[in-house]
Amino acid sequence: MARLTCVSGINGKLPAAFLLETAGARLLLDLGEGPEPGVLPDLTGVGEVDAILISHAHQDHCGGLDLAARLGNPPVHATATTFRLIEAEYGAGFIPGDRRRLLPESGPATVCGVPLTLGRSGHAPGGVWIHADAAGGILYTGDWSRESTLLPFDSPPPARVLVTDASYGDRDEPLADQIEHIAREASSGAVLPVPAGGRGPEVALALEARGLAPRPCPRLVAELRDIADGRVAGVSARIARAAARLADATAGRTDDWHPSDVIVAAGSNAETGLPADLLARIGEGFRFIFSSHVPKGTPAHDLLRTDRARWFAWNVHPCLSDTLALARETGAEHVLPVFAARETMTGLCTALGERLVLDPVLDLGPSRPAERTGSRAS
């Protein structure tokens, strides 16, 4: 028997927190904050958990970890890269060293007696999906993408239950087309704010491959160095060489930013970092192009609302066809599309039919093998 409870993350762009209860263990999958400022999961009634598993280092999946005392201060399990990125963003004390437990980026693991399989999610360095061998297989994807030109996505095993990132709802535009749109728009100079620990190096390398001369901020130069030095798993030797070349070309230029530059900088909504600094100089002619989710109350929201910036999509989450393909390939009997409001995914909900689950609590009966790839139509 197993139970999956969506503490936060269903029917909206909300922080991630999912409670899996199986085999006598209580595992919390992610504990985020945002993306709207100050939004945290409601932990009322959750009680103590045996472990927290973090899928990746973005705020809406790990930013609520300072609430861990309300859960009994359990161990926190994540990959080495995810711990490193969390420490860079929040400081070494955010997750005390004695509570850290390492997960592999791919392969088997056991947490509190629950057998798991993990695989790379294609969304962020060190990011993983988590498959629990319980009740016929329960797959929690965190955020994922098959389209990244930088980060690999490992195909997961069959699963009776699929909790899938559906952040883009029914959007189905391919990333390759989006890159071309942004490259054209940025060619005469632009500031492109991106999340730290995410798409920044990919954006910079993709724009360079299209003949532009992107200038990454110092934070992203460090991320490029991580790629060049082999600290990001799954990156090809060709991309590692390109990352080293771009880091070397831009590392020493940190204070002479110009409106004609193609600037890729950490601070996805211009609330922090170099984007915030250049926003204060917008009167000098700096143009902003955003590509992330834009929460209300952020500088990005204000700029877009007053037509002082542009927004173009850059897929780092699955598009509609990829979400349906994953449901088909895993043989999922129950599919929970999360991190999106229902009105943005009407096509997805219709296509899933009887497999669609929108209730926050899913009770599962005795384990049985999941159906194999191709056994269900999408």
Model pLDDT, residue 133: 96
Verify that 68 and 89 share a domain, yes or no: yes
Nearest to 20 by CA among 134, 167, 105: 134
Verify that 119 and 232 share a domain, yes or no: no
Verify that 205 and 330 share a domain, yes or no: no
Verify that 82 and 155 share a domain, yes or no: yes
Instruction: Specify whether the CB–CB gap between 358 and 12 falls below 8 A.
Output: no
Verify that 307 and 219 share a domain, yes or no: yes
Enter the pTM of the model. 0.93
> Could you check whether the bond before residue 35 is cis, i.e. omega within 30 degrees of 0?
yes
Model pLDDT, residue 375: 31
What CATH number does residue 19 fall under? 3.60.15.10
Residue 374 inside a domain? The answer is no
Verify that 14 and 161 share a domain, yes or no: yes
What is the mean pLDDT for each group of 10 consecutive residues in the chain (378 residues)? 96 97 97 94 97 97 97 98 95 96 98 98 96 97 96 97 98 97 98 93 97 96 95 91 95 84 97 96 97 94 97 97 98 98 97 97 69 34
Model pLDDT, residue 198: 82
Number of domains in the chain: 2
> Helix crossing, 200-209 with 218-228: angle to 10°?
80
Range of the domain at 78: 2-170+316-364
Instruction: Specify whether the CB–CB gap between 370 and 331 falls below 8 A.
Output: yes
Model pLDDT, residue 368: 47
Residue 93 inside a domain? The answer is yes
Verify that 70 and 180 share a domain, yes or no: no
- Which conformational region is residue 241 in: left (phi greater than 0), alpha (psi within -120 to 50 degrees), or beta? alpha
